[in-house]
């Protein structure tokens, strides 16, 4: 674990705590109060945008490969996940790339959790304008949401690099070595690898929704991956809510800061 100067680390809960005026310190009473405050804000908002990261999916059993406690904290054969999931590695060592992909990136058993389900209800009520996600698991779509901007793509969306034929995740999961199309081309996931640019139209849509939002909920992300993280700076609305176990770049701008697990917060919201 890496500790930064000025931060206190709770060795029992493995949580990093920054002292501050709107810090809930893990106090359950204070947490309940913050969940109520969030409920209030949501009920007053008409154009909510949710910006989420890996912390949204961990309650669905999908580990965060960037977090310190994540399964991939230790390197594989001396290679970090970021190196394996890069454009150059994909082209230079496709077999190893797909081994890693099948082993760590595909979670067919995972389903939507309290966060996904709550956001689906909000979209049905026409108060959620969009979900901007850095996750590639496709769980927001699986929950039923339509207005989803998947900045880094979706593992369920795969295509042949020769003929463009579409393939489900199973085509990769059930393959061995390098997955091949009927035409002989390589089937690749339609996800953004490290070193590749984001899809322009997805970015434009996501930024437009964030710019026009009255409430932005940033959750389950420390905002360390660019350029996605900087999109939150487009927000000019009233309520910036940050929910994360660890400090984030947006903490200082937050009007409501909840230091905790996003799925726990949304489970609390779901209880009447």
Least CB distance to Zn ion at residue 188 (A): 11
- Characterize the bridge pairing of strands 166-167 and 153-160: antiparallel
Measured in whole angstroms, the distance separating CA 111 from the mean position of its chain's CA atoms is: 15
d(CA 55, CA 115): 10
Of 59, 76, 103, 8, residue with least CA distance to 219: 59
The yes-or-no answer on residue 14 being catalytic is no
**Residue-wise over 176-202: b if at least 16 C-beta within 10 A, else e?**
eeebebeeebbbbbbbbbbeeebbeeb
CB 147 within 8 A of CB 160: no
- Does the footprint of Zn ion cover residue 162 (CB under 5 A)? yes
Instruction: Name the one range near Zn ion by CB under 5 A: 147-155, 156-164, 196-204, 237-245.
Output: 156-164
Instruction: Name the one range near Zn ion by CB under 5 A: 21-29, 48-56, 128-136, 174-182.
Output: 174-182
Least CB distance to Zn ion at residue 174 (A): 17
If the CB atoms of residues 185 and 205 are measured against Zn ion, the closer one turns out to be: 185
Of 41, 160, 257, 269, the one binding Zn ion (CB under 5 A) is 160
**Positions 179 through 198 that interact with Zn ion (CB under 5 A):** 181, 183, 185
- What are φ and ψ of residue 95, in 5° steps? -65, -45
Least CB distance to Zn ion at residue 86 (A): 24
Catalytic sites, residue numbers: 152
Residues forming the site for Zn ion (CB under 5 A): 160, 162-163, 165, 181, 183, 185
């Amino acid at each position: 674990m890496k500790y930064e100067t000025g931060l206190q680390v709770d060795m029992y809960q493995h949580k990093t705590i920054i002292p501050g005026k709107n810090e809930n310190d893990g106090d359950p009473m204070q947490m309940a109060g913050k969940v109520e405050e969030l409920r209030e804000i949501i009920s007053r908002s008409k154009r909510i945008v949710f910006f989420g990261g890996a912390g949204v999916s961990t309650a669905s059993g999908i580990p965060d490969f960037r977090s310190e406690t994540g399964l991939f904290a230790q390197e594989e054969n001396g290679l970090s996940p970021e190196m394996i999931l890069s454009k150059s590695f994909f082209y230079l060592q496709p077999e190893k790339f797909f081994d890693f992909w099948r082993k760590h990136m595909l979670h067919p058993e995972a389903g939507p959790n309290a966060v996904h389900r709550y956001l689906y209800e909000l979209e049905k009520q026409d108060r959620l304008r969009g979900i901007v996600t850095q996750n590639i698991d496709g769980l927001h779509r699986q929950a039923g949401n339509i207005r989803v901007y998947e900045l880094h793509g979706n593992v369920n969306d795969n295509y042949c690099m020769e003929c463009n034929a579409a393939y489900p995740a199973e085509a990769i999961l059930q393959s061995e070595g390098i997955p091949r199309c009927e035409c002989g081309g390589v089937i690749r996931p339609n996800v953004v690898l490290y070193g590749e640019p984001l899809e322009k139209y997805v970015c434009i849509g996501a930024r437009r929704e964030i710019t026009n939002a009255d409430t932005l909920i940033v959750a389950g992300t420390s905002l360390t991956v660019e350029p996605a993280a900087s999109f939150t700076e487009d927000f000019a609305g009233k309520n910036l809510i940050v929910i994360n176990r660890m400090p984030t770049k947006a903490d200082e701008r937050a009007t409501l800061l909840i230091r905790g697990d996003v799925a726990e917060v949304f489970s609390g919201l779901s209880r009447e």
